Amino acid sequence: MTVFLSGCYRPKVDEPDELKQLFESYFHGIETKDHKKIIDATTDDFVLFEMGRVWNNDSVFINIDRNLPFEVRYTFRDYKIHADHTSGDITCFNHGEFVFGDSTKQTLDWIESATFRLIDGKWRMNFLHITERYKTIDE
């Protein structure tokens, strides 16, 4: 006997790529100071834990505006991505290169982890955790 479960959702093969694109879109929103892009990448109850602080999108926007003018470019590597029926997660390393004003330069490295929910057929990031990364002796 064969049973067909047409109502069951099965993740598409490209969903890890969708999560990666959404994750990078969030950071591209920071790079371009595009509040709408950040909102479109996240759930309404999005929360960010960064270096002992708890943020939401409003506090991210305030931080962006407070640090103007600045430029930043993020580079991600070593992605590990998982997606199932309604949720997903990403871990990776992030390297940020900042220029504040016209001359103050700063580079930072982070360990990132994010979780995602499938809401009305669209992936959204609901949680992001960022920790500064320190190089190990063998790097």
- 87-100 β-sheet, strand order: 53-55, 42-50, 122-132, 104-119, 87-100, 70-83
Q: How confident is the model at residue 105 (pLDDT cuts 50, 70, 90)?
A: very high
Task: List, for residues 16-38, the tens digit of each pLDDT value.
Answer: 899 999 999 999 999 999 999 99
Following DSSP, what letter does each residue of 20-31 receive, concatenated?
HHHHHHHHHHHH
The per-residue pLDDT for 134 is 83
Task: List, for residues 115-126, the tens digit of each pLDDT value.
Answer: 999 999 999 999
What is the rounded average pLDDT for all residues in the chain? 89
Domains and CATH numbers, the chain: 15-132 (3.10.450.50)
Question: Is the bond preceding 16 in cis, omega lying within 30 degrees of 0?
Answer: no
**What pTM was computed for the model?**
0.85
